[in-house]
Structure formats: C-alpha cells, structure tokens
Structure 1
C-alpha cells in the first residue's frame, strides 16, 4: 500500500511540475509580446525575471465549496470566497473549472463577472508590472464570490521576480519629460509591505510619487 501511495504521489508531483513549467512559458511569452507592444528592444526585459533561478514565483490551487442561498449576506449577495485585491507579482496565469465566481472591478468601482471557461487561461497584470511600465499596464483588482450550486477550483501561477530585484519604471520608457510615478523598491520590500497590509488596500500607495501637475 505504501509503495502504491508513493508512486501516486510521484505521478501527481510530476504532473504539477509539468503544468507549472508550461504556464510559466506561457507567462513569459505574454510578457515578451507586451514588451514588443511597448517597443522595448530587449523583449525579455520582463520574462527574464521569471526565468531567473532565483525567481520568487508561486503556484496555488484554490477550492471554493458551494455556498447555499441561505448563507448569503444581509443584502442577498453571495458571500465572498476571496476578497478584492490586486496581485503583487509581475503576472498571473489562471485557469479554473467551468464555474462562475471570478469578478473584476471596473474604473467606476462596479464589479462584473468573468464568464467561466475551463478551456481558457486568464492573464492578470500584477503590481510589479504596473510599476515597471510606469502605469501603462494596470494591475487588475479582482475577487471571487461563492457559487450557490457548484464548487469552484482555480489554479494560479504567480510569476514573481527575485527577492533582491529592484522594481522601478524602465528607463527605456522614461524618455522625454515623463515623470516616474513610483519610487524604486526591491521585490522583498514590496512583498514584506504587502503582507503587513489588508487585502483590499492599495498596496502601491506607499511607493507612489507625488507628481507636480
């Protein structure tokens, strides 16, 4: 019995490792396409941080059990499975089963549901990429609400830089009179600050510069 369990564990671990490697490659390809769109000559300027041996990347599996209607809040809304937040890393690659729950916040503060599609991947810009592009790409505020009928399962690869990496707007994007919107910080400093904050806080607020109009 112990031998069978060990074999099953090894097979599961190999499958997870293969999946993480595949979504990491996908994330790197997306980042290189974004660099192309920004006309950055070094198209690996973002992706090299994920490929670095010291990359602080994370893979997470989330399970949200169904929440019956009698467990809704006082206003009749579904309970929150994961509160509103932005991802602090560079990029997130998410895939889920065919169950609704993921929502994103629009500029006006309204929330809209993302249609579930088990055959698609969802890409989120993270706080670090927002800083490196000086706000050209925005980190997406999102949350998960509990589904009343079915369980929701999601798998997320969070592509992060090495802990010692300095995060700041890229010099190649700061030509002319454009002002930097953010102070320079290391990924370790930002990660430490993020863990001390509340989930819904604007975690970039501490690192924003006051730019004269």
Structure 2
C-alpha cells in the first residue's frame, strides 16, 4: 500500500472531471490487417497513441506476469522497501527527484541487466514477456517506417534491437483510492501528466480504467481499459526522428475507482550514446530540422532533471 500524509494526498488530488467519448475514438490497429501500416501512421500523426489487437502475445503470458507482479505488491510495505525484487528497483509515491508525487508504487527493471541465469518463476515469465513485447515494438516500428514510405529496413527498430539499447520495463501499481474527508469530490493523480522520453512505449494494464491522454486542444479524455490489448505511445525520441511528423502524446493516470490498477510498460529506448536527429530518409528537399543534434544520454539526463509536466523537448529545438 502506498502511504501518503494528508497534505501529500491534497497535493495530488484534482477535481473530478467527467469525460465521455465512445471507445471508437481511440484508434484500434489490427496487426493482421495488411493496411495496418497506414493506419498506424495516421494514429501516430494525429494522437501519438493507439491500441493494437491481434498482437500475437498470449493472454496466458500477460496474466501470469500480472499475477507475479501483484504477489510482490501485496507484500508488507517494509518488506518491499527493504528487499525489493533483485534486479528490480522499488519505489513509491515519489516520481523522480523533483517533487512529483503520485498514488503509485512501482518496480523498474533495466532490460540490459535482466539476469538470464535466474530460474525463479517470476524471472522465467519475465524473460518470455520481455522477448515478446520487444518483438512487438520492433514490428510496430517497422510498420511505422513502411507507412512513411521508407524503403530501408530497421530505420527506427534498430535502436531497440541494439545490444546497448537503453530499454526498461516498468510495473506501476495504483492501489484503490483512499477515502479521506475533504477528498470525496476529487480524484487522485496516480501518475502526473507527461510525455515518455523514449521512442515507443508498449503498455498493457489490468481491466481497470485510469489512463487519460491529452488532445491537441489540451483537453483530456479517458481511455477505456482493455486487458487483452496493448496501448502504444509515441515517445519524444520518435518525434525527433520523424522531425515532428509523429507527436509524443501527453498522458496521465488518475486513481478514481475502488479497484487496483496494474500497468506493465515496455519503454523502447536507444543506446545512451546514440545521436538523435531527424532521419534523412524522411527529410524533403529544403526541409529544416526542428531539433538540434543531441544524444539519448543528454536527453535522458535532461528529462530526469525536469518536472513531469515540463516540455522536455523545447530546449533541444532549433
């Protein structure tokens, strides 16, 4: 259980805002559809966000990993804080080091350091899931390149396939909302508004709502939950590689139900030393780069020094 003082709860509470949009508002990409590449490009340009079905990852695998993660989050708080789950790092309520708070606890794993030799049930399921979701990210990135009429292979996917890829897997657990006097007409922020700094995020959650995305006009809409599918976010790095053709989606998670929410997110990141510039294969004659050249290490370091809601790319724009 996440433990917050009353003052901290008030800090991360927001007025309840009712939003209702038909589930058809969220682009749904059937990966078995031959036309999926053009649909993915349209969604990445418009929202920077979409759902994928017929993704090839078994429900049994997703459910097994969710079950193992929930076993850990069900442990007493002190045991979680002391022992963690090597090689995971455990944290709760504090998101980063700049004062952002959320009604969340999490496990974070750097995929490059994943111990293949460990034979626990959790690690065995974890290894299988990481392999599957990384392959899914590669497939989606390849379809994006094809949809942009790039003939060269692995233009985007090479970054997450690289042995030095700085990719991570994160489990976010949002316990049920606490009932406290003065907060009855408010909802709690599980994870504050932000964009993901990596190339691509592949998210799967249990059947509990809470995820919201921002539209171009700044309004927020709720994303209907679907534990059988994956949701895909365009990240800041991919926005740079496409010179702004794809947009990094701003999103957040609100905790306003009596049920726990568990999200498993794969963040596909490039190697730390990788230079990030718009792909020359996309640039049209006379087109100017919107961004100056920088490395993923520079951007990652800069992102972690900022608050969640800050525009992280602005200082790298020309």
Same fold (TM over 0.5): yes
Q: Does 1:122 align with 2:122?
A: no
1:146 to 255, 263, 273: 255
TM-aligned CA distance change 1:179 to 1:98, over 3 Å? same
Q: Does 1:49 align with 2:133?
A: no
Structure 2, unpaired ranges of 5+: 1-117
Q: Does the 8 A contact of 1:59 with 1:158 survive in 2?
A: yes
Structure 1, unpaired ranges of 5+: 1-7
Q: Does the 8 A contact of 1:103 with 1:145 survive in 2?
A: yes
Q: Does 1:17 align with 2:127?
A: yes
1:84 to 186, 193, 201: 193
2:169 to 59, 62, 70: 59
How many aligned residue pairs are there?
Answer: 201
Matches within 5 A, 1:25-36: 25-36=135-146
Q: Does 1:175 align with 2:284?
A: yes
Give me the CA root mean square deviation.
1.5
Scaled by the length of structure 1, what TM-score is found?
A: 0.91
User: How much does 1:61 deviate?
Assistant: 0.5
User: How much does 1:82 deviate?
Assistant: 0.3
TM-aligned CA distance change 1:71 to 1:12, over 3 Å? farther
* Alpha-carbon distance in structure 1 between the residues aligned to 2:212 and 2:182: 17
* Alpha-carbon distance in structure 2 between the residues aligned to 1:192 and 1:72: 38
Scaled by the length of structure 2, what TM-score is found?
A: 0.61
* Alpha-carbon distance in structure 2 between the residues aligned to 1:124 and 1:72: 34
TM-aligned CA distance change 1:27 to 1:71, over 3 Å? farther
Q: Could you list the runs of 4 or more consecutive aligned residues of structure 1 that deviate by over 2 angstroms after TM superposition?
A: 68-74
User: How much does 1:71 deviate?
Assistant: 6.5
Q: Tell me the SS of whatever aligns to 2:264.
A: strand
* Alpha-carbon distance in structure 1 between the residues aligned to 2:214 and 2:164: 32
